[in-house]
Structure 1
Amino acid sequence: MKILSVEIYNIQSLRGKHFIDFTQEPLKSAGLILLTGDTGAGKTTILDAITLALFERTNRHGAQKIAEKVISTDEKEAYVSVKFEVNEKIYTAQWNVKRKKDKYETEMWFTDHQDESQSIKQKNSKEKAQEAIQKVLKLDFEQFTRSVMLAQGEFAKFLKSAPKDKAAILEKITNTQIYRQISMETFERHKNERQTLENLQTQRQHINFLNETEVQGYQNQQKELETENRNLEVEIKEIAEKIQLCKQLEQVSNQISDLQKQEEQLQAKKVSIQKLEELCNWHEKTLPLHHQFGLLEGYQTDFECKKSEITKIDEDIQKKQKIIDQEKANLEQKEAELKNFSSIKEKVIEIIQEEIIPAQSQIQSLSEEKEREQEYLQRLEQDIKMAIYRAKIKWQESQNVTENQEKSQIVEQRINELEQILEKASENELNQKIEKEQKIINELESLKKLQEKESSLLQELQVKKKELQNAQKELIELQTQIQFSEEKKALYQEKVIFEKQKKELSELRKELQEGKECPLCGSTHHPFAQNITFELSESETEKNLKESERLLKELQEKILQNQAQTLSTLVERLKKDLKELQTEIQQKSKNLENENINQQNITELIITKEEKVENQKKERQKLRALQTEYSHLKTEQHILGIENKLLQKNLELENLNKRLQEAELKYQNAENECRQIVPEIQFRSYQEFQEELKRHQEHLEQELSKTQEILQQHLNLLTAFEAQKKQIETDLENLSKKISSEQLVLEKAIQEIGLQNIDELQSKILDEKTIKNYKTEIENYKKKCTENQSLLAEKIKEQENLREKVPAKVSWQELEGKKQALEQKRSENQQRLGSIREKLESNEKDLKKYQELQKNIENQEVIVNKWKKLSDLIANPQDKFARIAQNITLEQLIQRANRHLQNLSERYALQKDDREKELSLCIVDRFQADTIREVSTLSGGETFLVSLALSLGLADMASRNVEIGMLFIDEGFGTLDANTLDTAISVLETLQSSGKTIVLISHLAEIKERIFTKISVEKTGKGFSKVLVPYQNFTQNAPEN
């Protein structure tokens, strides 16, 4: 099975049409494809689209209400189409959805490009389409997601879980829960079949029979009772007819009485109907003034609303003024910080020029002088060697002279003393000095490594600081924009509420009814309540409000994406590591101060100390040679002179070292003083320190500029509030003039129709609903009077006809009592008949039931024996059968996983842990003499490789029925180092030789650098993304042959 193309339209974040064609280059020949994009861009949405087209469900959303979960926001239709190949045959699966109001209509199509007669394209055929797709794929949804979309995450969970939880996880991964279900079903089936047999046997024991004599007696009683009941039925029917006539006569008499009462009520209501007619006439007379009166009321309502609006704007101006005062104070604080930093900067530069730079020059000068003294010492050692050589020659010349024997003995005694001194000085002191120098070298090398690490951390810290500063600037800017947008939104919301209140007031005026009190003013007259209408269309204010809400939402999303907090945490961690490292460096530097070591010359001193140790070793050899020469020495005056010079130079060298140490201490104190003044800037060199000061000052200046911009924005908004207030005051003045004008015109028209004032006009005006109800009530009254009179005449005539048919001096109550007595007798007979029939029928049923039960018991015994044998084999409370099946499945999975693991890592192999009763795995470490290790000892990267091997093995098992030509692996590579990542990618690329294409889903930069063929998902804003496929520009970017 191999996917050839995917077409997506309006699915989640992928709004619009997106098409991925795996049959075009470079996707066609690529063995490894990277599906990349930012987190949340929509990479996994492409996998959801594939399973949606094939199975109408996804891993993330399941199958319930899938349509409303996957369709893009505010879209009315969507679809997914997947073209795939199985056994060199091409098929297409498509899933469509359309939204109509609050309902979603879905369709699923299946196309067989080889045989169109097998295609399913009719509506309401989703079940058939899914059956056809699964038949071709030979995979259901669970098998597809395990074999095509690898479940390495589940295997990582399986490897790290407790033994008691591994069985459940393995069931979920390998779908072996069916064996547990078979075992349970077998146990329950045997239990149910055995219970069924016991129930049948119990039923058979409770069956009783009647003998033939009892049956005959019951049959005779049945015939007698049936004859008596037939006679009673005839007599009851005659009495019922007479009762019916009596009841009809009584009913008609009651109806005549009711009609006469209704006639009296109608006459009493006549006066009120006349008053209603008078009100309707007045309404018609005042009809020409309705529109003018409604217009006046509208002006008055607008006037009150404008007054409320001015009050609200005054409150907003006061709030904004407080914010402006606060921003001004913030601006003054920023200016003070900038001024303070400028003075600090001048002080630090003064310290550098007056103390640090002269100290550096003094240290360099003393170091050069020390080198010159050391060269002079070397020359003295050469003179000592030459003097010893000359003394040896003289001693050889005078060896035969007897007169010098006594002096020779004295010289030999002195030579022995010198030999002991030289031996002691040569062996003990030089050895200790060499060991001390070697220890210093080791400390210097360690210090050098720490300083290299410190330099690396400093560089990383500077980068993260810059990123943090940029993120904080962006965050401040976004927060300012959000605050400004929220204020605009609040203003628009208030305007929308005000406009809605105006509209609601108009609607409430329509609901007022004549004669009922108004909840606001208490008036019972509501003229023109139905004559004033407002357009309930979307106003400009509502549009502005929606636009403000949209901008605010975008800004909030940007803040969520801002990484300032994350970068700040990282910078703090780097500072902590750097502080610990600097503490260790200072400790080592302190240990080396006694040896006159300068931190800035550590690298040179390491080389110098190594040379010095080597020279000292050579000097020790020279001293040993001198020891031999001293044994022949006869004179010592010249040597003692040279020794005195050597001792004097050593004293001068020690004095020089003390001066050098004092200069270095002065330099260190000046450097510490700079750090205390500006602790946030690391001191490394004068040039770098000046650049850091300059950058810090620029940062403060940018903060000052940003604060000025924010203040200006608030000032602009305050100006807008004041302009709006001025416009509303102008509107109030115009409305006041209109109200006065309309009142004069309306009062003149009122007097012309005979009314005194506007209040009297208002009392005569009725709304349309009231006038319509009055007219309907008048028409209904007249119609009801006519109908009542006609019906009364008909009922009187019907009463006369019934009196002729009803027997005289007989009431229906007497007839009813006689009828009930006969019915009671019939009921008693019927009960006796029912009892007899029930006994006879029950006896017959019992005979049949006994025969059937006997037959069923024999058949059930056969069934129980069969299930008992099967239950004894595979059904038990400890899930023995499920454990056996799981162990077999796990062994097969391990065999297939080891084939892939061999390619991923030659070091490890999987095997089942036979030491544990639970389902457990262990690792064979081939690099450690096949040592058996727990899987919990694996690192994160090693765990991922093992999980990937298990996933590939599971894919092999799941694809036994169909060849899988394409695999999707979603994330999981973040725990691998560079070498292991290269190995994993190389192994995945080798799967191309078996006809497989691997699609990795990841956003890691390391993977992007290693995989050439990429499908990118890029965000376009507002929560949507687009898919970029490499073949779209492959032709022009392809290298020339």
Structure 2
Amino acid sequence: MRILALRLANLASLPGPLELDFASPPLADAGLFAITGPTGAGKSTLLDALCLALYGNTPRLRLAPQRDSQLDDAAGTALTTSDPRTLLRRGTASGHAEVDFVGRDGRRYRARWAVRRARDKADGRLQAVEQSLRDLDDDRLLTAQKREFDRLLPERLGLTFEQFTRAVLLAQSEFAAFLQADDNARSDLLERLTGTAEYSAISMAAFRRASEAKKRVEALETRLADDLPAEPAARADLERRARAAQDAFDAVQRDARGLEAREQWHASDERLRDAVTAGRRRQQAAEDRWQSLAPVREDQAWRRVILPQRHRLTRQAELPGELDALEAAHQQTQGALADAESARDQAGRAFEAAERTLAQAAEARRTAEPALREARELAMDLANLDHQLAQLEKTQAERQAQRDHLETDHQKARTEHRQRRQQHADWQATLQQLLGEHDDLETARQAHRSALERAHQRQLALEELASHWREYQRALTHHQRLFERVQADEPRLARLLEQGRQARRRLDDAQARHDTVTGMIERSRAARSDGVVALRETLVEDAPCPVCGGLEHPWRHHPPASPEAEQLAAQQREEERQRQEVDEALTQAKQARDRLFGEYSALDASLKQARQELQSAERQCREARDALARHPLHGELATLEEDQRDTWLAEQSERAKADHAHHDTILGKLNQAEARIEPLRQALQEDATRLARFETRREGLDTELQALAEQLPPLRQRRDDRARALAARLGEHASPDAWQQHLDARQENARQAREAAQTHRHETQREHQRLAQQAAHEAERLATLTHERDTLNAELAEWRRTHAALDEARLARLLAQADDAAERQRQQLEDADHDRQQAAASLAERRQALLDHRRDQQLLDGAADDAALLDESAEAEIVRRREALEHEREALAPRLDAAQQQRDEAVHALRDDDRRRQRHQDAQAELQAARSEFRRWGRISELIGSADGKAFRRIAQAYNLEQLLEHANVHLAGLSRRYRLVRGGSELGLLVIDRDMADERRSVHSLSGGETFLVSLALALGLASMASGELAIESLFIDEGFGSLDPESLALAMDALDGLQALGRRVGVISHVPEMHERIPVQIRIEPEGNGTSRARLVSE
């Protein structure tokens, strides 16, 4: 992978447009180049642009808060601080970053990231980011969609974002801190550098899973202890009581079924009697309707008489209106024919006048042709003279404008030259003031750097001491809070356990009551259902009942009576109320049980977690106290009272920060003065050259303006003479073309007028001919209709004499009646006759059904005919029997309810024990599964699990550290064969083998500044090798890390960088250290220009 070019515009402090072409000199010839500039100038913005173009994000933005932190945009909208669009410069409408690179397949690609504002206005709303990927070898756009771009870019480049930030943007400065850290800090750095945070998550997940499995086992064991089934003896007693109650209930139920059969006979008799009464009413209504349709039957008879003559009668009525309309139209046509004849004659005269006008216009055009040719020649000469004059005047104006602009630029250049001289003198004075007691710039800079380093080391030590002190205070506070929490939760857990047992007993009582009431309701409804009646009719004598198995069927011929509709509805409402009542009681009991169980489980888990956290807090207190005691500055802190330590730490830290800021400010001012003086000196030399060029250019323009002033007057005189001659020839016309157009228009108008007159004459002739034909046709039609009218009147007068009973009003009404209305009347007569016949047949069927129902009931003494079965004596006997049946049913109801209640209570007690047995069996199986799950997760947690994730993280990081050292030693051998890195001293400890000292093992803390740089650079290159795998990385960038090197260490670092470029890699070093700038000839200088703006300049020395 190799970076070929970087382009950007309007990103952060760099307005651009800026292009860095790594494939062209001088960058193409430089294996090592520097990106230089003061702190905050925008050096890292180049790396941001590189990451934006490739991945749409930057490492610095990845570390910003995702949601909680927001910024106000220029358009008034809020953006999160992690949004890449915040890199767009304020006051600009668009920006972009673009990278050309060679991919893993050897082809050239271009990745582009761009953002713009709405309407391309600086105050417009930010739009969505645009990303595209193009194959430069084929000049083919691969994608312009973000999702597809995110997929294709890593495939073509060969690196993901995380791999790129480790393999191309070397983390050398972070590895310098990595070398000086203890095991805990080194573990955190290694996790962040290698991207292995998932191992901590896996360790904590294993610990959490084992804890959850253990809590599940304990909860199931508690539930089993609270819900035990009945003993075997108690179970046998429950079964005996249930069988006895069922036998007693079956005996009473047989009596009830006999009553139900008799009640069913009375209900059927009442239904059949009501059907006979309704049939009589229907028959009478059908007969009344038939009699009311007598007028309709009479109209139907006359309609059959009229039907043969209907069309002739209708035509007789239509003819008078047609004759009147045709006569009026014929008179109107005669008048229009006379008008058309007059218009035809007038159009002929107009056509002759138009032909004369056309001949006069043609003659005038031929007469003017010679004068028109002469005017055209004069106009052409005048146009040429005007063009020459305009060109000379334009040239004169341009030269005059150039001279005026040149004079303004000349004056501006003289003013800028004076300002630069003054600035140069001011910066020289500032530099002398900053040097103070030092002899030269380098001596002053070195003194301030040493003081800056001492202040920095003091500040770091104080910050580390304050961190240890705060950690110790937090651990003590956390331990006390956990201890108080455990003391408060233990009594509450015992109370919840007792309340849960009480809730379980209340739930069992509610379940038993619910089952009893539900069973009673279901049996009551089953006895009343239509399915019971249907099953009863299928019973056979001496054959067992399919429901109860009995051989006697007392209710087969005398079923029990069904209650009245209102009584049945009231009973159903009462049953529904009872069902809702027990459902609500059961639901409330379950909710109370579940709520208490949930509170108990949550509190139990919380208490166990608190106990574990209390043990961890005690260990953290010991560790924090030991870490505080080991710190070098602990002796100073120990002399103070505890309430004075925070104040002392804050004061000492502020003092160290103030010293650091003072020396850093002096260094910055020294660098700034040095950076300002040299460009001003070069600018003064350039100003002198530019002022001389201004003077030469002004003299040339004065000579050219004098020559133009001499050529203009003679040319203006010739132009005026030609203009006067042309005006005399044209007369009243503006130009030859206008004169020509006037003549052509006169002739064209005359021709169009002749054609219009000819067209109008033809139209009047055609209209006169059409009207004459129409008048003849109308006269013929009048004669035909008059003959048809006379014939119909004679024929229909004879038909009317033979049907004198048909009056005029009825005839008119029947003729006017529509066919669909007549059809509806016919259908109405047929429906009425059909209804009358059907009502009589239905009445006979219903009367016979009632007789069949009563015939075998012996309602009267002796034999009875059909009429007697329907008279009042039979009705009275039926009423008497029904009242006796009601008394028997009322006496049986209390016995049935009591037997059913006893049976239900026994059955529900047995079923409740069945449910307990089933729950116990299910819970046992669930407990076995939970124990198996706990054993599995427990073994995993013993290996890798821990509450803080350290267990598995240390295992993984030890392996990763081995891999990192293996790769780093390969690169360290190429940089310096003297050293080799190995693990030692602790689990994540590092040692250096010094081959020049008989392979002595040294601490990494004993390395000098240059040696530390070599080792940290080798570690960074090792991480890059791990991240890139087999992919060859030819472009590397190192951001900072050189500020604390002395001259000897800096020389060693430069030798290491030269070794990198010797291996065929192009290395970019980002630094604000002047000594680095002096040793690297090719530089990309980032120079501040004020107001948050910088410019980038490529320099090759």
TM-score (norm. length: structure 2): 0.36
TM-score (norm. length: structure 1): 0.37
